[in-house]
Structure 1
């Protein structure tokens, strides 16, 4: 009897809320998952689920058992990594989750150099602006901005990246150049919306009297930073971009920076963190990734 296989069928079914959902995650048939759960119940001598034609719910014993076995796979993966990475040489799969813009513009160009240094790494990069769950999605490490963090992660500050307020020269010629944050209220503003939460990412400044968020009436909204950059370049209005997104547009003149830090106020910066689910997850692979990113970030961004 493969007890780990039975436990996996149980935990995936509990997470999905149905045998069919657990089967989809595992990539096996629903019949096989049902048989595995039945074998596990027989082995334990308790019923783990209450079943009806339309519902599946954990019993009290099932809920207690799930609490005890939920981290078995993660612990086994850590043990396997510790045993397989001989002499602390990074090797094996390294699954990284990252916000889309940072991953596309900053992280992806760095990763070939990491793999050239450590030929045995098998790197997978997953880009998403939603809250990625490390254990459930087999993620080794993630790079998130402060607004996309969630409880339970071990986060190490990685970078503080400047924001740039910018617009197309043709827009500024027509609408004028804002001189203070308060003047943004009279401009067409292009804002980012978090795709999973639906809330807008507010623009903020630090002033001597505290944090200030100007009143804005969004002209356009998108859940993709690169789309906002293109909208701004086409003359749609003013947007706020991370420096690594804005730089190519500023260099070729498609966008013009406005609202540089002024007397008594300054832009907030993007806070970027390197995250794992547990301190024990800093395996040689994850440490190599962390060190490589730190070594290749611009010095002005480093914390």
Structure 2
């Protein structure tokens, strides 16, 4: 007869799986809303019960032992099965309710999603939204995320997905900067300008600027005068006259409408990959997830209104001289 698992041991497996996935007790504790010491003690008890060493601990890292790696894979299967049970029970209810955990990149979350959440709550008052923002690539299954919004090509996975819309990445500058330094006519002219670039927090890599010149793609990393690691900071710097920077149209559009930014090199603008919603197979039948995906389709229409703002601004006559001479 198979021995039934105790609640204490099950709690230890959950804590172990989170710590292994996140690589630290602190991150695991944060995801479980408990203290790091509670996670550590729970895992220590599990190791004692199993008679196994699951982690090699150092002052800087938490590394799985061979036995720990094998148990981690089995623990993930257990957690996925448990999530399936919960989601199947939730799907019985026709009305969306409960908490839905949503992950999104910071600029999309702050600029587009967060302002729309009150309307979603008005429609579905029994649904609570737990929004997680950041540049880190989130594992939906391991972290219990119901829906994530991602930008770019999706790796092969078992996730369900729905393309929402696309946006353009264009170059922008303030009117005062262009009046003082001239307007670039070709991507090559940017070597004569102060550039403001973006550094990805997750990888530490600088953003490569991509332009389309007919069938030819021009791609390079500019010699930037200022580098920041938050997308909103890029537009703030260039709106203050700091130079020319690249921004997604949904971030720059409000600045363009207020006359704080001017699109440049628009005829060379490259399309951004599709903005996509993804969710686990286990959430397929969830009424709350279905409602949220439908809401996202309204929030991200195609064609996108922010692209129209940039396109209309590009058609306005400009009286700013082209770039001449060398970079100051």
Shorter-chain TM range is: 0.7 to 0.9
- Which residue number corresponds to residue 299 of structure 2? 296
- For 1:177, the equivalent position in structure 2 comes to 183
Residue 35 (structure 1) aligned with residue 31 (structure 2)? no
**Does structure 1 retain, via aligned residues, the 8 Å contact 2:168–2:269?**
no
1:279 to 267, 278, 281: 281
The whole-number CA distance in structure 2 between the counterparts of 1:249 and 1:52 is 51
Q: Is the contact between residue 185 and residue 215 of structure 1 (CA under 8 Å) also seen in structure 2?
A: no
Within 5 Å, give how 1:254-265 maps onto structure 2: 254-261=260-267, 265=268
1:275 Cα deviation from its structure 2 partner: 2.0
Alpha carbons of 1:151 and 1:123: their partners in 2 closer, same or farther (altered >3 Å)?
A: same
C-alpha spacing 1:92/1:24, structure 2 compared with 1 (3 Å): closer
Change (3 A) 1:275 1:167: same
Contact 2:56 2:64 in 1 (8 A): no
Which residue number corresponds to residue 234 of structure 1?
240
Q: In 2, Cα distance between the equivalents of 1:89 and 1:129?
A: 32
Q: Name the CA shift for 1:8/1:210 in 2 (closer, same or farther; >3 Å).
A: same
* SS of 1:129 mapped into structure 2: coil
Question: What's the offset of the Cα at 1:219?
Answer: 1.3
- 1:158-183 CA distances to partner (integer Å, 9 max, x unpaired)? 22112332111111011111112221
Q: Contact 1:98 / 1:127 at 8 angstroms: preserved in 2?
A: yes
Aligned CA distance change for structure 1 residues 221 and 284 (closer, same or farther; 3 Å):
same
Is the contact made by 1:165 and 1:239 (CA closer than 8 Å) also made in structure 2?
A: yes
TM-score, L = length of structure 1: 0.83
Alignment partner of 1:49 out of 36, 50, 53: 53
Task: Note the alpha carbon deviations across 1:216-264, whole angstroms, 9 max, x for none.
Answer: 2111111111111111111110112222221221122111121122xxx
Decide whether aligned partners of structure 1 residues 198 and 113 sit closer, same or farther in structure 2, where only a CA change above 3 A counts: same
Change beyond 3 A, Cα 1:84–1:58? same
Q: Are positions 1:113 and 2:119 aligned together?
A: yes
CA shift for structure 1 position 133? 2.4
CA contact (8 A) 1:184 1:215 kept: no
Q: Secondary structure at the match of 2:275?
A: strand
For 2:224, which of 214, 218, 240 is the aligned residue?
A: 218
Aligned residue pair count: 291
Q: Which runs of 5+ in 1 are unaligned?
A: 42-46
Task: Encode CA deviations 1:114-154: one digit per residue, 9 max, x unaligned.
Answer: 2222221110111101212223332212112227x666463
Question: Could you say if the C-alpha distance between residues 291 and 208 of structure 1 is closer, same or farther in structure 2, counting changes exceeding 3 Å?
Answer: same
TM-score normalised by the chain length of structure 2: 0.77
> Are 2:12 and 2:42, in contact at CA under 8 Å, matched by a contact in 1?
no
Q: 1:63 to 1:257 in 2, by over 3 A?
A: closer
Q: Once the two structures are superposed, what CA deviation does each residue of 1:2-43 show, in whole Å capped at 9, x if it has no partner?
A: 24224224434544668788677653264443223323x1xx
Change (3 A) 1:253 1:72: same
The DSSP-based 3-state class of the residue aligned with 1:174 is helix
- CA separation of 1:181/1:22 partners in 2, compared to 1, >3 Å: closer, same or farther? closer
Change (3 A) 1:233 1:21: closer
| Residue of 101, 106, 120 corresponding to 1:100 | 106
